[in-house]
Amino acid sequence: MLWPLMFPMRLTFVVLVALVCLATMFAPRWNRKRKSMFSLAVAVACVAFIPSCVLIQVAIDKVRFGEFEYSSAADIHDRRVDGWMPRQASNIRLFKHAGGFQAKYQIEQAELEAFIDREWKEWGRYSVVSRSDIEQGRFVSTMREDFRYPPETGSDTPLKTYSSPVAADGAGFTIWYDPETATAYQEAGYW
């Protein structure tokens, strides 16, 4: 759940440590004693830590979150998406956020079902909800009622729903599939 904060914190820490070291190293050039410069630099670094984290996070979030388009799943180089999306997906429109992603892509139904079967074979033993309970609708969804995903497709064909194993922390995904257009709408959440 706190993974979006870790990289900015680490980067800020490394940058501030480097600045403290540089200030201490160059103290004699500025007619200062190294010990007093070190103390001053550490104090400034402590005060600047949180604002620096925020600035770095804002800059990084503009690159790692938002809307992206890919021609195939192989073009997505994000470990938080790689294992959660079929490799055969194409024409991908992806919206990434800190808690997961939403995606729309093209895939053949047989390939999608094979992907779901592989997910259940590999991860099903860890699922807190059985596949049969999910498929029979006995799993109580905690989605808000005003949450509308996938969007209206304009198709008369009802969407097929596929669900992944559900981790103890609630992580997992749901895919709504339109067989008429071979379009999948995916909502994934991880903690």
34-83: per-residue pLDDT in tens? 899 999 999 999 999 989 889 988 888 888 888 999 999 999 988 888 88
pLDDT band, residue 150 (cuts 50/70/90): low
Measured over all CA atoms, what is the biggest interatomic distance in the chain, rounded to whole angstroms? 78
126 shares its domain with 50: no
Helices 34-64 and 3-25 pack at an angle, to 10 degrees, of 150
Segment 130-142, tens digit of pLDDT? 887 776 554 444 4
Q: Do 86 and 156 reside in the same domain of the chain? A: yes
How many domains in the chain? 2
pLDDT at res. 56: 87
* Same domain, residue pair 123 and 145: yes
Based on the domain organization, do 59 and 92 belong to the same domain?
no
Residues 31, 77: one domain?
no
Q: Which residues constitute the domain of residue 91? A: 66-189
**pTM for the full model?**
0.73
Work out the number of other CB atoms within 10 angstroms of the CB of residue 20: 20
Looking at the structure, do residues 14 and 86 belong to the same domain, yes or no? Answer: no
Same domain, 30 and 44: yes
Residues 19 and 82 in one domain: no
pLDDT in tens, 117-128: 999 999 999 888
